[in-house]
Amino acid sequence: MVRVVAGLGNPGAEYDETRHNIGYAILDCVAGRRGALWREQRWCKAAVAETNFGPAEGPRVPVWLLKPRTYMNHSGDALQAFCRDRGFNPEEILVVLDDVALPVGQLRVRKNGSSGGHNGLESIEERFGTREYPRMRCGVGAPRQDGALADFVLDRFRPEESPMVEDMIDRGSRAIEMACTLGLTAAMNEFNRRNDTGGGRI
């Protein structure tokens, strides 16, 4: 089961609401829905919030939400430090990140996979030495042919994209709750449908 959910992004107000920080936004939504409080932890260079998940009737287990403060290219440093201290294995981590290969609003939950050139995932793979950890890719669209990728992901969403982004944040938070409660397979079956905008209610 998922014990750690890491939302990738960059620290600092200048990066708020950018495409690269969709992982932060979704974890903020989860924390808000569950009344979990963020605390800056210098020892692992991350903001950490603790909550718990479980079936309506049955045991509940603690789950940690984590936002690395190391900047995207060094996300693995913070995640490895936290998991090594708490004794968590890669397969217990769900990483939430932006994906330019997916249209705005589309989600893809996977149990493993390649980095796809994403600097945050490359850092995590380097630190853990494996690709065998779950991830949820969140579609942020692709730049125009003449646009630079780095500039695109560090830019904010266009006003006309806002409804799709807000919906993705809501569905992403519910996908995390389902993954932590019923397992990754349940979340994959419910939220990986291409144009889902209303499923996944738990």
Per residue in 50-79, pLDDT tens? Answer: 999 877 777 889 999 999 999 999 999 999
Q: Which domains does the chain have, with CATH numbers?
A: 4-191 (3.40.50.1470)
Of 151, 116, 126, the closest CA to residue 18 belongs to 151
Q: How far apart are CA 107 and CA 148, in angstroms?
A: 23
Phi, psi of 123 (to 5 degrees): -65, -40
What angle do the packed helices 22-34 and 162-181 form, to 10 degrees?
Answer: 60
Q: Tokens 């997916």 label which residue?
A: 102
d(C-alpha 71, C-alpha 150), whole Å: 14
Shortest CA distance to 172 belongs to which of 104, 125, 100?
A: 104
Residue 200 has pLDDT above 70, yes or no: no
71/87 Cα distance (integer angstroms): 23
Q: Inform me whether the pLDDT recorded for 199 exceeds 60.
A: no
**Average pLDDT of span 152-172:** 97
Taking the C-alpha atoms of residue 130 and residue 116, their distance in angstroms, rounded to an integer, is 14
% of the chain with per-residue pLDDT over 90: 86
Taking only the tens place, the pLDDT of each residue in 134-152 is 999 999 999 877 668 889 9
Whole-prediction pTM? 0.93
Cα torsion angle, 111, 11, 83, 119, sign: positive
> Which residues are the active-site residues?
20
Average pLDDT along the chain: 93
Query: Which H or E run includes 68?
Result: strand 61-68
For residue 63, CA distances in Å to 30, 51, 136 come to: 11, 5, 16
